[in-house]
Amino acid sequence: DTEVTQTPKHLVMGMTNKKSLKCEQHMGHRAMYWYKQKAKKPPELMFVYSYEKLSINESVPSRFSPECPNSSLLNLHLHALQPEDSALYLCASSQELAGTSNEQFFGPGTRLTVL
């Protein structure tokens, strides 16, 4: 199984809502990532988890809150978002942290719209 799954596929939320994005992988990977991608731009790294611990936080606003309940799951909790947060949110996993030979496998993404 070389698949990373993400739910939901699409999400529309108001600025006062609280929602969560979910990501799951069953490849035994120990590193998981959240990226944000705006249209016609490359993915921007948000968070990295390694062995279920937060390893990198790329100065992301606190309205984004990651959580790694176990080695297969990664959540991104959203609260009080702004319209400019509308984007494609991609989850990825790799055997270990990037920076070694390990390619990242990406999920299909959640397309988020903030009204």
Partner 1 sequence: AQKVTQAQTEISVVEKEDVTLDCVYETRDTTYYLFWYKQPPSGELVFLIRRNSFDEQNEISGRYSWNFQKSTSSFNFTITASQVVDSAVYFCALSEVNTGNQFYFGTGTSLTVIP
The answer to whether 99 contacts partner 1 (rule: CB under 8 A) is yes
# chain residues binding partner 1, by CB under 8 A: 24
Contacts of 42 (CB under 8 A, 6+ apart): none
- The residues in 26-85 that bind partner 1, with binding defined as CB under 8 A, are 40-43, 45, 48, 55-56
Quickly list H helices, the chain.
Answer: none
Phi, psi torsion values for 83, nearest 5 degrees? -55, -30
Taking the complex as a whole, the smallest distance from the CB of residue 8 to partner 1 amounts, in Å, to: 13
Q: Closer to partner 1 at the Cβ: 49 or 64?
A: 49
